[in-house]
Amino acid sequence: MTLSSLRNKRIAVVGIGVSNRPLVRLLEDAGAASITLYDKKALPDEFKHLPAHTGDGYLNNLNGDVIFRSPGVKPFEPGIIRAVENGAILTSEIELFIEHCPCEIIGVTGSDGKTTTTTIIGKMLEAMGRIVHVGGNIGTPLLDRLDSISPDDSAVLELSSFQLMTMRKSPQTALITNISPNHLDWHRDMEEYITAKANIYKYGAKRVILNRDNPICRNLPCEKAEYFGCGDNCAVTIGGGVIKCNGDVILETRDILIPGEHNIENYAASIAVCRPTPEAAKSVAESFGGVEHRLELVAEIDGVKYYNDSIASSPTRTIAGLRVFDKKVILIAGGRAKVGFHDLAVVAGEHIKAALLVGEAAVDIRETLGATGVELFDCGDIRTAVAKAYVTAEPGDIVLLSPACTSFDQFENFEERGKVFKECVEGLI
């Protein structure tokens, strides 16, 4: 699907969020016969001049020659299925970008670590002297920046399962950091989720990089895969305090500023993609302090450290955060559940001193963690939880917001949740 092929076509754009706004402007310039917008919410003022369907039932009359789906809209919505059965082509903004981007594209997906790894790859490439464009699910659409990208540059895209589910175009280099149960409140089953992730390499990727230590990644069918991990048969290996590439030491893990075994893994994945010099890898490792809302130290108050890990929307991600610390933490958890909390209960006794529960999932977390011996407090919301943490914590304690749930019961997204937590903590000072 190219921009020139869209001339004189009837276009439907479903979901007018961050990624699709520049798309609409580009489609207007491309000379589409018509552009109709579909969104459950009211449209931004800049698009009031276009025909639109909004509110409940907004997809009931969906039609067009080509449908551009926002990542947050399920492709198996009845309205979308009907339109495709009637001959519409279903595609997306990110697929159009991949088709038109003039430079090398590196795609990054995974259940955990996508944003951090995408960012590290971008910084490593820059340290190697490349001009880099980082975007995709990380929050920056690149479609309207095509004119500023040259063939000698590199584009690094974070890609979610929502974006990949209907993609039929792969980046030249495809990386999967790991796969574990996630987004099962959105996907119909685990098989669909894994299939969506694997789409990152199925449609023309020249290099495929997988995590050999992750059972699901290890068993993905891909003859051209290169692996990173702690075991044998890996091009990039972790062990003995170093990360090696084809037997050569590239980075000492003690040089990595951001904490956690999972971040060592993220660096190994990035080294597998970039093949940097030791100097380039070390310069990034020593200076990169992490991405906001990912084990972010907010403040130390009266000897208590408060960390914001709002990105942790699954138990797997929360468990990885808990393992960073060498002591039990006071955990703030809850929100809207995507999966169950059995795995969190398995490690709770070892890693959690007390759990302050918030949001819709508080009851489920309490029931699952009830037999672990962890002290549990029902707090309702984050403001109450921070206040409870302040009176509960003792000098030397760690208070960690790592919800193991999505934010959508009380917030627009995990960023808003993290910012509210930070505001509450800063209000204690």
Whole-model pTM: value is 0.83
What pLDDT is attached to residue 12? 97
What pLDDT is attached to residue 19? 80
The tokens describing 340, both together, are: 């169950």
Residue 1 CB-half CA count within 13 A: 23
CA gap 256, 269 in Å, rounded: 14
Q: Which CATH number fits domain 4-91: 3.90.1150.10, 3.90.79.10, 3.40.50.720, 3.40.1350.10?
A: 3.40.50.720
Say which residue the tokens 């975007």 belong to.
135
Q: Look at the domain 296-426 and name its fold.
A: Protein-Tyrosine Phosphatase; Chain A (3.90.190)
CA gap 94, 71 in Å, rounded: 9
Query: CA dihedral in degrees (255, 179, 143, 91; nearest 10)?
Result: 170
What pLDDT is attached to residue 1? 66
Residue 169 has pLDDT above 80, yes or no: yes
What pLDDT is attached to residue 129? 97
At 356-409, the pLDDT tens digits run 999 999 999 999 999 999 999 999 999 999 999 999 999 999 999 999 999 999
At 133-154, the pLDDT tens digits run 999 988 788 998 999 999 999 9
Residue 35 has pLDDT above 80, yes or no: yes
Q: What percent of the chain has pLDDT over 70?
A: 100
* Structural domain spans, the chain: 4-91, 95-287, 296-426
Q: What mean pLDDT do residues 33-56 have?
A: 92
Topology match between the domains 4-91 and 95-287: no
Q: What mean pLDDT do residues 410-425 have?
A: 96
At 97-130, the pLDDT tens digits run 999 999 999 999 999 899 999 999 999 999 999 9
Between residues 341 and 187, which one has the greater pLDDT?
A: 341
CA gap 308, 405 in Å, rounded: 14
Q: What mean pLDDT do residues 283-305 have?
A: 92
Between residues 161 and 19, which one has the greater pLDDT?
A: 161
What pLDDT is attached to residue 217? 97
What pLDDT is attached to residue 3? 81
Residue 187 has pLDDT above 90, yes or no: no
CA gap 109, 117 in Å, rounded: 9
Q: How sure is the predictor about 221, in pLDDT bands with cuts at 50, 70 and 90?
A: very high
Q: How sure is the predictor about 231, in pLDDT bands with cuts at 50, 70 and 90?
A: confident
Q: Which CATH number fits domain 95-287: 1.25.40.10, 2.40.30.130, 3.40.1190.10, 2.60.20.30?
A: 3.40.1190.10
Q: Where are the beta strands (DSSP E) in 41-131?
A: 52-54, 66-69, 89-91, 104-109
What pLDDT is attached to residue 139? 74
